[in-house]
Amino acid sequence: MTDKTYPPSPEMAANAHINAAKYEEMYASSVADPIAFWAEQGKRIDWIKPYTNVRDVSFAKEDLHIRWFDDGELNVCANCVDRHLPARADQTAIIWEPDSPDTPAQHITYAQLHDKVQRFANVLKELGVGKGDRVVIYLPMIPEASYAMLACARIGAIHSIVFAGFSPDALADRINDSEAKVVITADHAPRGGRVTPLKSNADAALLRCEDHVKCLVAKHTGGQTTWVEGRDYDLGAMMEAAATDCPPEPMNAEDPLFILYTSGSTGKPKGVVHSSGGYIVYASMTHEITFDYHDGDVFWCTADVGWVTGHSYIVYGPLANGATTLMFEGVPTYPDAGRFWEVCAKHKVNQFYTAPTAIRALMGKGTEFVEKHDLSSIRILGTVGEPINPEAWNWYNDVVGKGKCPIVDTWWQTETGGHLLTPLPGATATKPGSATTPFFGVEPIVLDPQTAEEITTTEAEGVLCMKQSWPGQMRTVWGDPERFYDAYFSQYPGYYFTGDGCRRDADGYYWITGRVDDVINVSGHRMGTAEVESALVAHAKVAEAAVVGYPHEIKGQGIYCYVTLMDGVEPTDALRTELSNWVRTEIGPIAKPDVIQWAPGLPKTRSGKIMRRILRKIAENDVSSLGDTSTLAEPAVVDDLIANRGG
Ligand code: WT7
């Protein structure tokens, strides 16, 4: 082994579902005979009508299709709720921990969840929602968010969650693109002691949507809202009045379960479509195996249900496994930097899963915030969302895990539905910063970006693709199958292209080096530079804009904007603030620029293409290696940008 490695402890290897020998054996069989492997794994789910076709996949342009278990029928909600009732009716399904530690937590049992979800499903039916209809969910991290997801799944409606930090415009775009019938929101959303007027954001969004879109409103803080008679509906009152019984709708395995919008390298965010059968098999299996989940464990994923991590590892994976899953409304630093650890101690969390950006933010606050809480219940630590720097990894390992908890660095994407590269706690010797090795059935390959040839040596550096499908793979882009092909299968025909670069070391471990396209990763949130650019140029004073990522100590990457103003517009600090706030309102707080540099000109090729490579180098302050600038239309603009770096 190269690098410093952390092998699983003997106890972990002995007690975990999967040890090293089992991983080797199972991985080999999963790629040698994937049909037999997944035929067996599919049985972890209850099927109304069993499948006989396990896999039917082609990545070819003329015939692109991805189908798993496609003659089977199931209901995802019944798998997450009803099937646990005989053994676990009184077990807690969801622990809800509110924003403020002064508000009591809630424990929702499987029996209570069953009641809530059935009532919620009946409310949706009353609003005219049926199988195949779309429902947009724009909620804080409250139990109603899980009820809403499961209620949709129960009646076969397709949910599309919009992160509550997104702006009214972003919400409207998603309601319109998915042609949703209903948007579910709440009065206000408290987070970190501050309150977002969620319902009034929804009101603003709905001004841009069709008149028939209905708004279902959960009362959360009791804060004031305006009410549009005939359009707005009171969720609490309707649930109270609703019939308590709602049978689950039998769904085909390939019926969509949800749409989740995510940023791409071009244009508007795309609606990633996930299936019912393959997705739930994969979410459930990865949750159990990656986190070595055992009956009775309390599992906490700190993500928001507005991201795929929340879909797969707060709601669907854990509940499919009959787990107790913790849902947290707040932020890591409120009321202080000990909040995560206080919650872990209070609820005796066994698996804790968070993002490197949160770890970096907490690291800076000192170890005393960790040390004053009893973290002895934690067995496994996980990270996701971006590469973890070794310093943060070591802090997580030493200070949080006391050197006793394996860290699973899980690499995956909105598109993949669940983990594709990850260590397994009882099987894999970890290396800080590496997502290590593939999950069962996953066949990563490294391609040379210039020649598009596979690099077959163990040590390799290039772009990361997948050779084979896995059940959790996205099925299409909502309403745009051509974009599905173009974004993922056109660059390297025959393979799924991840958009990430990677290195494979002499031990066959994968190290993600970051995106190779115009997608940036800000605090673990994915952002298309094109989206920020189009928000900037929508401002009357902006003529042109180019946006790139640059290394940021806490956020991983920050947002660096080069802005060319309209003729005659004065570049002032006040305008800089105005533009920054403008982007924030157009997209949401997560898109707020970190740096705005005035750019009298942008480096372009003679054909007018912006040379982002140069802009990235300047933003990174790596101007010694700008490469060849002779093909630029106006080489002098580069000197100006270098001289005025940083704004
Ligand atoms: C992109 C996907 C999937 C959950 C959250 C993000 C980056 C994700 C890791 C990791 C290095 C990672 C990749 C990927 N990424 N996990 N463990 N190590 N990079 O989902 O918003 O779809 O973003 O996040 O660049 O392509 P997403």
Whether 497 is in a domain gets the answer: no
Tell me, in angstroms, the distance from the centre of ligand 1 to residue 414's CA: 8
Query: Which residues are documented as binding site for Mg(2+)?
Result: 537, 539, 542
Q: How far apart are CA 217 and CA 521, in angstroms?
A: 32
Q: How far apart are CA 634 and CA 231, in angstroms?
A: 55
Paired residues of 604 in beta bridges: 610
What token pair was written down for 213?
């879109």
What token pair was written down for 542?
């902006």
Closest ligand 1 atom to the C-alpha of 414? 22
Q: How far apart are CA 375 and CA 80, in angstroms?
A: 29
C-beta 79 within 6 A of ligand 1:
no
Whether 195 is in a domain gets the answer: no
Q: What is the mean pLDDT of each run of 10 residues along the chain (647 residues)?
A: 85 98 98 98 98 98 97 99 98 98 98 98 98 98 98 99 96 98 98 96 98 98 96 98 98 98 88 98 98 98 98 98 98 97 98 96 94 98 94 97 98 98 98 97 97 97 98 98 97 97 97 93 91 94 94 94 95 96 94 96 86 92 82 85 87
Residue in the structure block whose two tokens are 């841009």: 208
Whether 533 is in a domain gets the answer: yes
Encode 78-125 in three state secondary structure.
HHHCHHHHHHHCCCEEEEEECCCCCCCCEEEEHHHHHHHHHHHHHHHH
Task: Look at residue 588 in the predicted model and tell me its pLDDT.
Answer: 93
Tell me, in angstroms, the distance from the centre of ligand 1 to residue 215's CA: 32
| Neighbour-count burial of 317, counting CB atoms closer than 10 A to its CB (0-12 exposed, 13-18 middle, 19+ buried) | buried
Tell me, in angstroms, the distance from the centre of ligand 1 to residue 379's CA: 23
Closest ligand 1 atom to the C-alpha of 416? 3
Residue 332 CB contacts under 8 Å (≥ 6 apart), including other chains? 302, 339, 340, 354, 358, 361, 362
Task: Look at residue 611 in the predicted model and tell me its pLDDT.
Answer: 87
C-beta 59 within 6 A of ligand 1:
no
Count of structural domains, the chain: 1
Residue 568, phi-psi category: left (phi > 0), alpha (psi -120 to 50), beta (remainder): left
Q: How far apart are CA 17 and CA 639, in angstroms?
A: 58
Whether 568 is in a domain gets the answer: yes
* Residue from 258, 413, 436 whose mutation best tests the ligand 1 pocket (most atoms within 8 A of CB): 413
The DSSP annotation for 138-205 comes to E--SSHHHHHHHHHHHHHTPEEEE--TTS-HHHHHHHHHHHT-SEEEEES-EEETTEEE-HHHHHHHH
Tell me, in angstroms, the distance from the centre of ligand 1 to residue 419's CA: 10
Tell me 497's DSSP state: E
Task: Look at residue 542 in the predicted model and tell me its pLDDT.
Answer: 95
Query: Which residues are documented as binding site for CoA?
Result: 191-194, 309, 523, 584
The DSSP annotation for 436-474 comes to BSBPTT--EEEE-TTT--B--SSSEEEEEEESS--TTS-
Task: Tell me the CATH number at 581.
Answer: 3.30.300.30
Tell me, in angstroms, the distance from the centre of ligand 1 to residue 305's CA: 16
What token pair was written down for 12?
């972990």
* Enclosing domain of residue 615: 523-644
Q: How far apart are CA 231 and CA 182, in angstroms?
A: 10
Whether 437 is in a domain gets the answer: no
What token pair was written down for 159?
């949910």
Whether 578 is in a domain gets the answer: yes
* Residue from 407, 503, 515, 526 whose mutation best tests the ligand 1 pocket (most atoms within 8 A of CB): 526
On whether the CB atoms of residues 94 and 143 are closer than 8 A, the answer is yes
Paired residues of 108 in beta bridges: 94
Residue 251 CB contacts under 8 Å (≥ 6 apart), including other chains? 73, 74, 75, 76, 131, 156, 276
On whether the CB atoms of residues 286 and 439 are closer than 8 A, the answer is yes
The count of other CB atoms within 10 Å of the CB of residue 188 is: 20
CA count, 13 A, side-chain hemisphere, 216: 28
Whether 569 is in a domain gets the answer: yes
What token pair was written down for 251?
């769904």
On whether the CB atoms of residues 293 and 369 are closer than 8 A, the answer is no
Task: Look at residue 2 in the predicted model and tell me its pLDDT.
Answer: 55
**What pTM, to 2 d.p., does this model score?**
0.95
Tell me, in angstroms, the distance from the centre of ligand 1 to residue 601's CA: 33
Q: How far apart are CA 33 and CA 22, in angstroms?
A: 16
Whether 598 is in a domain gets the answer: yes
C-beta 401 within 6 A of ligand 1:
no
C-beta 72 within 6 A of ligand 1:
no
ipTM of the complex model: 0.99
The count of other CB atoms within 10 Å of the CB of residue 4 is: 11
C-beta 521 within 6 A of ligand 1:
yes
Task: Look at residue 626 in the predicted model and tell me its pLDDT.
Answer: 82
First to last CA, the chain: 45
On whether the CB atoms of residues 385 and 521 are closer than 8 A, the answer is yes
Task: Look at residue 28 in the predicted model and tell me its pLDDT.
Answer: 98
Task: Look at residue 636 in the predicted model and tell me its pLDDT.
Answer: 86
The torsion defined by the Cα of 388, 391, 394 and 400, in degrees rounded to 10, comes to: -80
